[in-house]
């Protein structure tokens, strides 16, 4: 639902898609069945084409369009339980006894599975992980979702990465004055890719991993809570990005709402999960 003035109306990807499709069909039926419209029949046909195109755009890119639409209309989405999504579509707010709670979601994806990493790298990564979370002095929640990758595609990606690393290594060696540090970097990269391929050949299955982080803050007003939670999000992004060397982004729109829904239930099958990310 969306709060607009004194009224509440439904506004999400599904309702916008359904509305656009319905208008397109009505215009098409009017143009085909009504008589005496004259030049208005052409207008009805053009309107049908226009709304059909809008329907397709919302279906494909609704998660991008909806946040901009709510910003332009300056409306807030009201969800079940009294949760509110403001026009910016980047936080979720709830008023509890005059105190405002703002929740923000962050997302990152680990493209390499720990299951196919060398043991020393696994230990080192866990130490870095502990360092990243121990430097945060406010509560936050992280959720890690794992699934089995397509083995053939994963192997193809690893082989492509190895070939690229070998090419860069060869180019560096061919230079008149090769850089030992760069050579060592690409040699280690090639060795890592070879290790991953060897583990795959031994029967280990590659695991795809994604993680989202949830952090909440309170304030005496919605704006105060939003400012506080965004400051916490920036601190989390800095800690995890610098320590783990991964890119972490703020979630907004439908992506944020999916994580909010995943707090209750996650997609039951790997294909459903991959289709939603």
Residue 221: alpha-carbon gap to chain centroid: 28
Query: How are beta strands 249-250 and 99-110 bridged, if at all?
Result: antiparallel
What per-residue string of b and e applies to 96-117 under the rule 16 or more CB within 10 Å gives b?
eeeebbbbbbbbbebebbebbb
pLDDT at 228: 92
pLDDT at 266: 64
Please state the pTM of the whole predicted model: 0.59
| Residue 70 near residue 62 (C-beta atoms within 8 A) | no
Rounded Cα distance, 75 and 84, in Å: 10
Domain coordinates in residue numbering, the chain: 2-78, 97-149+205-277, 155-204
Residue range 97-149+205-277 forms a domain whose CATH class is alpha beta
pLDDT at 195: 85
Q: Which two tokens stand for residue 238?
A: 């800095």
Tokens 């320590």 identify what position?
243
pLDDT at 178: 85
| Main-chain dihedrals φ then ψ at residue 140, nearest 5 degrees | -150, 165
pLDDT at 29: 83
pLDDT at 1: 47
Rounded Cα distance, 170 and 183, in Å: 9
Rounded Cα distance, 243 and 106, in Å: 16
Per-residue pLDDT of the chain (277 residues), as tens digits, is 444 444 444 456 667 777 788 888 888 887 777 666 666 777 878 888 887 887 787 777 766 676 677 667 777 777 777 788 888 888 899 888 889 999 999 988 665 544 444 555 556 667 777 887 887 888 888 888 777 777 888 888 888 988 998 898 888 888 888 888 888 888 888 888 888 888 888 888 887 777 888 999 999 998 999 999 999 999 888 888 777 767 788 888 778 888 887 776 666 565 666 666 5
Dihedral through CA 257, CA 262, CA 264, CA 265, nearest 10?
A: 130
What are the DSSP calls for 16-74, one per residue? HHHHHHHHHHHHHHHHHH--S-TTHHHHHHHHHHHHHHHHHHHHHHHHHHHHHHHHHHT
pLDDT at 201: 85
Rounded Cα distance, 138 and 217, in Å: 9
């Amino acid at each position: 639902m969306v709060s607009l003035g004194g009224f509440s109306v439904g506004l999400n990807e599904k309702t916008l898609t359904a509305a656009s499709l319905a208008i397109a069909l009505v215009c098409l039926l009017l143009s085909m069945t009504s008589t005496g419209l004259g030049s208005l029949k052409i207008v009805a046909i053009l309107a049908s084409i226009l709304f059909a195109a809008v329907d397709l755009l919302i279906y494909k890119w609704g998660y991008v369009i909806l946040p901009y639409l709510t910003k332009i209309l300056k409306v807030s989405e009201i969800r079940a339980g009294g949760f509110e999504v403001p026009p910016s579509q980047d936080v979720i707010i709830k008023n509890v006894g005059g105190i405002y709670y703002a929740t923000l979601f962050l997302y990152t994806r680990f493209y390499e599975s720990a299951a196919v990493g060398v043991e020393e790298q696994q230990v080192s990564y866990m130490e870095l992980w502990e360092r990243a979370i121990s430097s945060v002095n406010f509560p936050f929640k992280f959720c890690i979702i794992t699934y089995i990758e397509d083995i053939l595609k994963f192997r193809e990606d690893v082989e492509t990465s190895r070939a690229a690393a070998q090419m860069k290594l060869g180019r560096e060696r061919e230079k008149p004055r090769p850089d030992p540090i760069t050579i060592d970097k690409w040699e280690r990269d090639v060795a890592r890719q070879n290790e991953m391929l060897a583990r795959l050949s031994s029967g280990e299955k590659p695991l795809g991993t994604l993680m989202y982080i949830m952090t909440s803050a309170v304030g005496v007003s919605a704006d105060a809570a939003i400012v506080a939670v965004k400051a916490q999000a920036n601190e989390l992004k800095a800690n995890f990005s610098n320590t783990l060397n991964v890119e972490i982004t703020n979630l907004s729109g439908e992506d944020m709402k999916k994580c909010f829904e995943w707090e209750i239930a996650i997609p039951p099958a790997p294909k459903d999960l991959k289709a939603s990310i």
